[in-house]
Amino acid sequence: MSTDLARLSLNQATCEACVAHQVPHIGVWRHKLEGDSEEIWGKRIRDAGLGCSSLCRGGMFPAATAEERRRHIEDNLKAIDQAVGLGTDLLVLVCGGQGGCDLDSARAMVLDGIGAIERHAAKCGVRLAIEPLHPMFTADRSVIVTLEHANDFCEKLDVAHVGVAIDAYHVWWDPHVYREIGRARGRILGFHVNDWIAPPPDVLRGRGMMGDGVIELKRLRAAVEEAGYTGPIEVEIFNERLWSKPALEIVERVKKAYLANC
Amino acid sequence: MSTDLARLSLNQATCEACVAHQVPHIGVWRHKLEGDSEEIWGKRIRDAGLGCSSLCRGGMFPAATAEERRRHIEDNLKAIDQAVGLGTDLLVLVCGGQGGCDLDSARAMVLDGIGAIERHAAKCGVRLAIEPLHPMFTADRSVIVTLEHANDFCEKLDVAHVGVAIDAYHVWWDPHVYREIGRARGRILGFHVNDWIAPPPDVLRGRGMMGDGVIELKRLRAAVEEAGYTGPIEVEIFNERLWSKPALEIVERVKKAYLANC
């Protein structure tokens, strides 16, 4: 079993619990930035001795009207500014579901949307990570559901600061996942771990702890590293049963599961 | 709205309700063949004036031991005989989940398994339809989760009686679905309709009635027909709320939804 925690990053756990357990990074969600400015939150995280591995999320581009799409673009520009305020250089994009549009149109709106924000991101020194979600989220969360599709978009945009975030839960099933991880060489901006419980107890919040499911996490991690990724490995587990436990206990379990199974 | 019911086939509805509503075909599930032999069931269906569009299901090939895999092959040979007894020439294959194996091995076992039964199928005049399932079923129901993968297997096996069954619910999200429907020309052995409710009320039994969700059914049907498919269009809706209603009422709703949305 590995004892190296240097790349572990926790999503959705409290700063205090991370610090107590020497987890070096946390991933931050925009809707959790409450009460204070992102600058104050950023300082709080740094003062606690933690790094902020990413801000989640921008995206959600498709919409039925031009006015709505424009509002989404503005929200993304704001998210880029928030990333700067927090002190992270990475914004994760959950691209958005169909938004009342047909699938081809919605996918085109995602490409247009990223095209419309990438210059502001470049100016701010913020990288954008397209995160393909599992196909079961196509309708309502992301019409980008394969790493191949995310890679296609990166190649079309062809700028150094747009890449991909690879989440084990979303991509593990794909017959082409290893080919596409190789193809993503040089633009892998994030790697998330968790597990797939079979059958899933819940669509949205039924993710498992690493080692409790069927995902070949060590093989995925090896492929991602072989493709040149050396950044944080973020644990992202949405699971109601887990969330109900005390933060310190969760972080302890995450650390053990990460070292044993990733 | 179309008024042509000639190709409508119902899965999981009673014969009596189908006959009352002039639905011409039904799809039969093996585990519903209770009490009597398949020959008696076949005669019962024909005597009611119905055709049997397919028998579901063979498959479930992957397993951790050679002994278990051998038993699954035997069960598939029996399913082929049952199709003959019922008087249908089509066995739908739900290929099986990982069965305790790593994903690559499980996928190889599916190809081996179909290879081991296809000669018996040919001898019996039974066609085998590989049905790719939605990726959310990879772990426990089918490691074959894209039409591309099913097409790859058909090309590797390269026999006229092995083809694919295309279920809208399982394939609609795929960026390559229209390319792969075109590639499946000449080997499309079944087409199933239903709908994707967003978010799904239940993973396994949350399918919607045609028109209640986001699937572009008319576009899919047009593509399948453009690729030469002229067979039955089977309605396959697993939904607890729907099942709780009287069969006659369900069949009436299915007919309306089929004519309006497919």
**What's the average model confidence in pLDDT over B127-156?**
97
The burial of A31, by beta-carbon neighbours within 10 Å (0-12 exposed, 13-18 middle, 19 or more buried), is given as exposed
The chain B residue lying nearest A139, using CA atoms, is B198
pLDDT digits (tens, 9 = 90+) for A190-231: 999 999 998 888 776 778 899 999 999 999 999 999 999 999
Q: What is the pLDDT of residue A242?
A: 72
pLDDT digits (tens, 9 = 90+) for B1-44: 567 888 887 765 556 667 777 778 888 888 888 788 999 989 98
**DSSP secondary structure letters along B249-261:** HHHHHHHHHHHHH
Q: What is the pLDDT of residue B9?
A: 78
**DSSP secondary structure letters along B44-67:** HHHHTT-EEEEEEEEE----SSHH
Whether the per-residue pLDDT at A1 is higher than 60: the answer is no
**What's the average model confidence in pLDDT over B226-244?**
84
Q: What distance separates the 2 farthest-apart alpha carbons in chain A?
A: 53
Global pTM value: 0.93
Pairs from B30-34 (Cβ < 8 Å, separation ≥ 24): B30/B55, B30/B56, B30/B57, B30/B79, B30/B82, B33/B82, B33/B86
Q: What is the pLDDT of residue A60?
A: 97
Whether the upstream peptide bond of residue A246 has omega within 30° of 0, thus cis, is no
**What's the average model confidence in pLDDT over A71-78?**
98
Whether the per-residue pLDDT at A111 is higher than 80: the answer is yes
Rounded distance between C-alpha atoms, residue A164 and residue B178, angstroms: 25
Q: What is the pLDDT of residue A14?
A: 58
Element containing residue B100 per DSSP (H, E): none
SS (H, E, C) B7-48: CEEEECCCHHHHHHCCCCEEEEEHHHCCCCCHHHHHHHHHHC
Q: How many CB atoms lie within 10 A of CB A217?
A: 22
Pairing of the two strands A8-11 and B162-167? unpaired
Q: What is the pLDDT of residue A22?
A: 76
The region of weakest confidence among A139-143, B35-39, B256-260 is B35-39
Rounded distance between C-alpha atoms, residue A168 and residue A166, angstroms: 6
Whether the per-residue pLDDT at B165 is higher than 90: the answer is yes
Take residue A160 and report the two structure tokens written for it.
């150094």
Residues of chain B found within 8 Å of residue A199, distances taken between Cβ atoms: 139-140, 203-204
**What's the average model confidence in pLDDT over A171-176?**
98
Rounded distance between C-alpha atoms, residue A225 and residue B107, angstroms: 25
The chain A residue lying nearest B204, using CA atoms, is A199
**What's the average model confidence in pLDDT over A125-129?**
98
A102 CB within 8 Å of a chain B CB: yes
**What's the average model confidence in pLDDT over A227-245?**
83
> How high is the ipTM of this complex?
0.92
Q: What is the pLDDT of residue A244?
A: 76
Q: What is the pLDDT of residue B11?
A: 66
pLDDT digits (tens, 9 = 90+) for B113-133: 999 999 999 999 999 999 999
Rounded distance between C-alpha atoms, residue A208 and residue A193, angstroms: 10
Q: How many degrees, rounded to 5, is the angle at CA A7 between CA A6 and CA A10? A: 110
Q: What is the pLDDT of residue B70?
A: 98
Q: What is the pLDDT of residue B2?
A: 67
How many residues does the structure list for chain B?
A: 262
A160 CB within 8 Å of a chain B CB: no
Q: What is the pLDDT of residue B31?
A: 80
**What's the average model confidence in pLDDT over B84-90?**
94
Rounded distance between C-alpha atoms, residue B52 and residue B135, angstroms: 28
Question: How many CA atoms, within 13 angstroms, populate the side-chain half-sphere of residue B42?
Answer: 15
* High-pLDDT (> 90) share of chain B, %: 69
CA A98 to chain B, closest CA, distance in angstroms equals 9
pLDDT digits (tens, 9 = 90+) for A35-48: 889 999 899 889 98
**DSSP secondary structure letters along chain A:** -----TTEEEESS-HHHHHHTT--EEEEEGGG--SS-HHHHHHHHHHTT-EEEEEEEEE----SSHHHHHHHHHHHHHHHHHHHHHT-SEEEEE-B--TTS-HHHHHHHHHHHHHHHHHHHHHHT-EEEE-PPPGGGTTTTBS--SHHHHHHHHHHH--TTEEEEEEHHHHTT-TTHHHHHHHTTT-EEEEEE-B--SS-S-TTTBPBPTTSSS--HHHHHHHHHHTT--S-EEE---BHHHHTS-HHHHHHHHHHHHHHH-
A97, A102, A136 ranked by CB distance to B136: nearest: A136
- Best to test chain B binding among A133, A138, A176 (most B CBs inside 10 Å): A138
- Say yes or no for a CB contact (<8 Å) between B134 and A138: no
Q: What is the pLDDT of residue B15?
A: 60
**What's the average model confidence in pLDDT over A119-137?**
97
Report the topology of domain B8-261: TIM Barrel (3.20.20)
Residues of chain B found within 8 Å of residue A145, distances taken between Cβ atoms: 173, 175
A195 CB within 8 Å of a chain B CB: no
